[in-house]
Structure 1
Amino acid sequence: MMKGVHFLAIVALLSLASSFVSAFDPSPLQDICVAIDDPKSAVFVNGKFCKDLKDSNANDFFFEGLQNPGNTDNKVGSNVTTVNVDQIKGLNTLGISLVRIDYAPYGQNPPHTHPRGTEILVVVEGSLLVGFVTSNMENRLFTKVLNKGDVFVFPIGLIHFQFNVGHSNALAFAALSSQNAGVITIADAVFGSDPPINPDVLAKAFQLDKKIIEELQKKFEY
């Protein structure tokens, strides 16, 4: 029964996301453009080399494994399994991708942004506190607790998050309006950049003592 729910969730997300595909990624220039790493005898379209049409097959449009839970044994208690153009080469030029997000009890997908895609998320198991913040100068927070079957949208480029407020594992699927929406996790980018951002800059930006900034950078360094 649960496998059926997962399948329906994915189909629904893909259908919904297809309505805003052309708004962000370049429009396709041909029916299919299966990405290929070898540029020999290939055509360069939308940032990828395309496989010769006669060499394409169904496996170029296929991915398996989303039925498997991701490992949430980490500092944030979540795991994102991504299915974008790197996993399905046939997604090239189609302007859509998918993720599975697993959450341990009280785990979170910490504040982050997708610079190239809007996200639409559906909860399959558990309850999630979700939200996003609008840009300056308002910085208005939109937040809601979602339960099984609920759907929420995170607009392109805005900081957003999900937090498992339940006592058990939670699961969600999300579609994004880009074949590779990108992700910037705020804390990792600010405190874990390589090389590190000057602590004096961050101390002034966050109105914190420089020693606190340096401790945070130690926690996030790779």
Structure 2
Amino acid sequence: MYRLANVSKTYEQKNRTVTALTNVDLTIPQGQLVAVQGPTGGGKSTLLQMLGALDRPSAGSVLLEDRDIATLRDGALTDLRATEIGFVFQGFNLIPTLTALENVETAFAGAHANRSRAEVRERSVEALQQVGLGERLEHLPAELSGGQQQRVAIARALVKNPSVLLADEPTGALDEATRDEIMGLIEKQWKERGLTVVIVTHDSWVAKRAERRLYIAQGQVRDLSSLAR
């Protein structure tokens, strides 16, 4: 699914150059569940931005299937994010004035804007039912628990049937019991849909549930799974 070759990323910050990634070579097969760990500032978020077509490398190539994110135009990157990649974040990122159903429907903007209103509504309802919120369609985010809000965010990420799910600390704001529920839900969707899933997490319990564990520090990636073997 992904192939990164000699990827580096630098930023200019306060008259100095900050290196976020250094000569990263990485392959992620289709359908794999990967956890990424490492210290704060080690490059985890930058790596996720590369995989999510949210940023371009300073050097090297980032291939999603056969498309090089480094060379695509901005419009093509926007379409790629809208159709192929689902995002889930620690802070849920729900619009507080919209219901759970309306928040999920926002996934159909942009590249999906030509879909009929009836199709958007039908698919959004189905997505919320799949995450166990069929009875909460008309609730605002403030009327939902943290775990329920994250379920809405997952439904929004998956309603467009992406091939990739990228999750940045998806359980970081949840208690242990709710964390377990959300991870179980992500694993269920991963298995049923054949998704490629990449989860950035500080939680070793979450990381241990992945098929593969990567560790990134000082911009360099180590494959802990291969070391364990």
Where on the TM-score scale, by shorter chain, does this alignment land: which range? under 0.3
TM-score using structure 2 length: 0.26
> Radius of gyration: which is bigger?
1
Greater fraction of residues in helix: 2
Higher relative contact order (CA 8 A, sep 6+): 2
TM-score using structure 1 length: 0.26
